[in-house]
Amino acid sequence: MCGIVGYTGHRPVKSILIEGLARLEYRGYDSAGIAVEQDGALEVVHCKGKVSGLARLVEPLGLAGTCGIGHTRWATHGRPSEANAHPHTSCDGRVAVVHNGIIENFAELREELEGRGHVFTSQTDTEVIAHLVEEGLAESRDLLQAVREATERLIGAYAIAVTSDREPGTIVAARKDSPLVVGLAKDGAYVASDIIAVIDGTRDVAVLADGEMAKLAPDAVTFYNARGEAFEPEVTHVDWDLDVAEKGGYPDFMLKEIHEQPRVIRDTLAGRLVNGALSIDELDLTLEELNLIDRVYVIACGTSYHAGLIAKNLIEGWARIPCEVEVASEFRYRNPIITPTTLVVAVSQSGETADTLAAIRDARVKGARVFGITNVVGSPVARESDGVIYTKANKEIAVASTKSFLGQVVSLTLLAMLLAQVKGKLKTNQVRLLFHELADTAEQVERILAECEPAVDAAARACAEAKSALFVGRGMGAAIACEGALKLKEISYLHAEAYPAGEMKHGPIALIDEGFPVIAVATQSPVYDKVVSNIQEAKARGAMVVAVATEGDEEIARHADHVIRIPKVRDAFSAITASVPLQLFARAIALERGCDVDQPRNLAKSVTVE
């Protein structure tokens, strides 16, 4: 949910921290701060707002230290404020801590610490860690041991980096249920919640697992397992280019990532058809085991949940296996029916979504096979699943997911085809035909991006001053409508609801008056005529209708005020093409309303707390 970066070595740390935080700002941006060892003490600077504001505060300061930690925050405990910004310090100011996650027992710990005379200056859960470490150091512990003892008191999720002027040049890092990587370089050592924060300094990183710790010093890093034993970690060399984190000439990351979607489709499909048959070796199930699958759950949150709704249509339609789509935060609390022949598919862009991880663990305890779909190699979802498909979207910076969503849809479509093939519901030649049509959607998305901008912009200008909007569709279109409404809410702050079009008469039609925007997914499908009827009902009550329709459909113009046309595709693949103009539509409205499309308020890219 938040971003951590730290460095100790032989280079001035100030610019390393500020640049690293700027790259992590997609994870949280309501406050930011750094702590730097300077002249034998810790110099702490933090502020409310974005990293750019922190940079302005830090620039005139003569910070020349070579060891420090930084943080950019998305608020969980305590409102966004300077007092609640990280790093948090101990009473004596000699310990500084940055933390991602949630400490569930912080209230009891705080009461206990206050009872021993500790004075708290923030509303956060994180501050208890600084005071616990302070007590450990006061009892003649070294920093590593003091941090270890502090973490043993914590209940919840954490990734932390701790430094103290009592041990100059030392940073201790620890994690549980929240991502943390350590970067290894000739000129020092780095710690961060994401590789992108340290890629300027090193390409060699070790991913800490739950319960592991690392002690970073200028010339050495020592790793410790959950039992406190030193060990040699697996070091990964990162080979992707930094330009994935740059805008590449586009005005914002969101538009850049929307235009990267044809490549994502192609990359996700690469190597998946071998000798005319689907190949998903990562599933780690034999054909016999796959054939025994009699129930599928797709568990996900937000945009990933909508990808799951699309998958339900495909899995049940092609493979004839019952499929339920569950909001991950609800899944483990409702005692779902799970057997050894249940397949749980966990979908998460970041691979670190806390609710999805908790659902995975619950499903595995109950005996299900778990398959992950994620965009991040080595992420917790990938490590805790029996198998995984990587969506090949590369780094996604804009908070509102676009290219990762399409990667998820393509991956889930492959899974649905494989299950249907194994169950004998689709013959090999049918699978081959479907695969090639699926691959063709990359070119069709390119056409949409090249041709639909005028229609999208006109519709956006017409809707920009609205107070609310209704998205409708039937069948596959109903799932697409859900994603379209979420995108609009996320980045333009225009309230939107999505309903199956047939549900309009059961309540939502009461919202419609003169000029009320109704966005209809009206592509050619078996339920097209039904959707047109629903559009007519909305139009009769004064709605301003925006229709996403198939090229060559002239009738739709009689019923809609604005038509955004897309190439004709098989209905099963319409989610891929129809979602793209809705992404552009949301972005265009957000720009009309003066919103930040890359960093919408109150949202963070990676939700690592429940």
The structure's pTM equals 0.74
pLDDT of residue 114: 96
Q: How many CA atoms lie within 13 A of 262 on its CB side?
A: 12
3-state helix, strand, coil in the chain (%, to 5): 40, 25, 35
pLDDT of residue 609: 47
Q: State whether 410 and 486 are in the same domain.
A: no
Kindly provide the b/e burial profile for residues 58-67, where b requires at least 16 CB atoms within 10 angstroms of the residue's own CB.
beeeebebbb
Q: How many helices (H) and strands (E) does the chain have?
A: 18, 27
Please, is 270 exposed, middle or buried when counting C-beta atoms within 10 Å of its C-beta (0-12, 13-18, 19+)?
A: exposed
Q: Tokens standing for 314?
A: 């495909």
Q: State whether 396 and 540 are in the same domain.
A: no
Q: State whether 178 and 317 are in the same domain.
A: no
pLDDT of residue 271: 79
Is residue 121 situated within a structural domain?
A: yes
Of 426, 459, 483, the residue that ends a domain is: 426
Give the angle 587-3-43 at the CA atoms, nearest 5°: 130
Q: State the DSSP string of 238-293.
A: --S-GGGGS-TTSSSHHHHHHHTHHHHHHHHHTT-EETTEE--GGG---HHHHHH-
- Phi-psi category of residue 542: left, alpha or beta, with phi > 0 → left and psi -120 to 50 → alpha: left
- Write out pLDDT tens, residues 295-335: 999 999 899 999 999 999 999 999 999 999 999 888 878 88
Q: State whether 60 and 203 are in the same domain.
A: yes
289 CB neighbour count, 10 Å cutoff: 15
Q: State whether 220 and 257 are in the same domain.
A: no
pLDDT of residue 111: 96
Q: What's the DSSP call for residue 540? A: T
Q: State whether 273 and 167 are in the same domain.
A: no
- Give the CATH number of the domain where residue 488 resides: 3.40.50.10490
Strand order in the sheet with 342-348: 323-327, 295-300, 342-348, 369-374, 387-390
Q: State the DSSP string of 394-459.
A: ----SSS-SHHHHHHHHHHHHHHHHHHHHTTSS-HHHHHHHHHHHHHHHHHHHHHHHHSHHHHHHH
Is residue 548 situated within a structural domain?
A: yes
pLDDT of residue 328: 87
Is residue 610 situated within a structural domain?
A: no
Q: State whether 198 and 281 are in the same domain.
A: no
Q: State whether 410 and 280 are in the same domain.
A: yes
pLDDT of residue 179: 84
Is residue 13 situated within a structural domain?
A: yes
Is residue 324 situated within a structural domain?
A: yes
Nearest partner of 375 among 408, 346, 399, 397, judged by Cα: 408
Greater confidence, 473 or 383? Answer: 473
Q: What is the mean pLDDT of residues 273-295?
A: 83
- Give the CATH number of the domain where residue 178 resides: 3.60.20.10
Nearest partner of 151 among 236, 210, 81, 82, judged by Cα: 210
- Write out pLDDT tens, residues 22-75: 988 866 668 999 999 999 999 999 999 889 999 999 999 989 999 999 999 876
Q: Tokens standing for 493?
A: 């702050």
Give how far Cα 268 sits from Cα of 32, 185, 416, Å: 36, 32, 15
Contact by Cβ (8 Å): 452, 581? yes
pLDDT of residue 241: 63
Helix axes 261-269, 403-422, angle to 10 degrees: 30
Is residue 602 situated within a structural domain?
A: no
Of 220, 239, 258, the residue that ends a domain is: 239
Is residue 113 situated within a structural domain?
A: yes
Beta strand 277-278 pairing with 41-48:
unpaired
Q: What is the mean pLDDT of residues 363-384?
A: 84
Q: State whether 224 and 350 are in the same domain.
A: no
Q: State whether 261 and 217 are in the same domain.
A: no
Residue 215 identity (one-letter amino acid)? K
Of 239, 260, 293, the residue that ends a domain is: 239
Average pLDDT, the chain: 91
Contact by Cβ (8 Å): 148, 213? yes
List the catalytic residues. 2, 605
- Write out pLDDT tens, residues 482-519: 999 999 999 999 999 999 988 888 888 888 989 999 99
Before 251, cis peptide (omega within 30)?
Answer: no
Greater confidence, 275 or 217? Answer: 217
Nearest partner of 579 among 452, 464, 461, judged by Cα: 452
Residue 245 pLDDT exceeds 60? no
- Write out pLDDT tens, residues 163-205: 999 999 999 999 987 889 999 999 999 999 988 899 889 999 9
Kindly provide the b/e burial profile for residues 492-508, where b requires at least 16 CB atoms within 10 angstroms of the residue's own CB.
bebebebbbbeebeeeb
Q: State whether 370 and 509 are in the same domain.
A: no
Q: Tokens standing for 316?
A: 């049940």
Residue 129 pLDDT exceeds 90? yes
Is residue 445 situated within a structural domain?
A: no
Q: State whether 151 and 100 are in the same domain.
A: yes
Q: Which domain holds residue 84?
A: 3-239
Angstrom distance (rounded) from CA 319 to CA 308: 15
Q: State the DSSP string of 481-538.
A: HHHHHHHHHHHH--EEEEEEGGGGGGTGGGG--TT-EEEEEE-SSTTHHHHHHHHHHH
Domain count, the chain: 3
Contact by Cβ (8 Å): 28, 80? no
